[in-house]
Amino acid sequence: MFVSILLLFPFLFISILREEWYPIFFKLARFWAYIILFGMGFTPIIKKGVRFKKGESYMFVANHTSMIDIMLMLFITKDPVVFVGKKELSKIPLFGFIYKRTCILVDRNNSQSRRAVFNSAQQKINLGYSICIFPEGGVPSDESIVLDDFKDGAFRLAIEHKIPIAPVTFHDNKKLFSYTFFSGGPGKMRVMLHPLISTSNYSIEIKKELNKKTHAIILEELENPSF
């Protein structure tokens, strides 16, 4: 990953100089994801239960189990997606420089920062972009946890901005590239793209129901793989 950042950094740097150039950055980032995934011996296998429409915005939510999750999400999304992520990651050399200029950063210990996320998300949606959040809030330190509880942020955003939830299940990322070094290895990475969940019948007051419904869909797929 570090070598690929060095090679692509000049192009990535130019593409983030202006906000309206984000679609160019996104194409470069997808190319970067291809290099990372196939260069490390991973073969994405995608099963689609949905067809995304060009120009429409979605709230992508997926289980978070690995450092490779972002690269796999870039691989499966063809139209620009903006990630909402932890502010702490902006401290990573080189990667952090790109990260903080292309993602919506949130400091979970700062209520003002959390509120600012909603305004930033609206700006991106107005530009026709989708949003991606890993609602577990991070990778569980206990690798025996199949799926941690979801935080409400993604679902509140989707309801407020009237965009559908696009659940995504990553089956093999933890096994092939976990945070336990010298474990895993090359192999197939199965991804299930679930049917969309409309948010039109949900209000902020019942966001927990949307949270639980999405959690149940991803957990069911993890426990009983459809492929």
What pLDDT, in 10s, does the model give residues 137-187? 888 778 889 999 999 999 999 999 999 999 999 999 999 988 666 667 899
Containing domain of residue 133, as a range?
42-223
Please check whether residue 147 is in contact with residue 219, taking contact to mean a CB–CB distance below 8 angstroms. yes
With beta carbons less than 8 A apart as the criterion, state whether 173 and 66 touch.
Answer: yes
Residue 25 counted as domain residue: no
What does the pLDDT average to over 32-56? 94
pTM of the entire structure? 0.92
Give a yes or no: residue 20 inside a domain: no
- One-letter identity of residue 176: L
Q: Is residue 89 part of a domain?
A: yes
Would residue 27 count as lying in a domain?
no
| Structural domains of the chain, count | 1
Query: Token match 């939510």: residue?
Result: 61
Least confident of 10-19, 126-135, 141-150, 172-181: 172-181
Q: Is residue 48 part of a domain?
A: yes
Which pLDDT does position 121 carry in this prediction? 92
Provide the pLDDT for residue 140.
Answer: 78
Is 34 contained in some domain?
Answer: no
Q: For residue 217, count other CB atoms closer than 10 A to its CB.
A: 19
Q: Is residue 165 part of a domain?
A: yes
If you average pLDDT over residues 47-68, what whole number do you get? Answer: 94
Provide the pLDDT confidence category of residue 112 given band limits of 50, 70 and 90: confident
Does residue 83 belong to any structural domain of this protein? yes
CATH code at position 210 = 3.40.1130.10
pLDDT(5) > 80? no
Residues 6 or more apart whose CB falls under 8 angstroms from that of 142 comprise: none
Distance between CA 85 and CA 103 in Å, rounded?
Answer: 7
Residue with token string 């870039």: 74
pLDDT of residue 182: 64
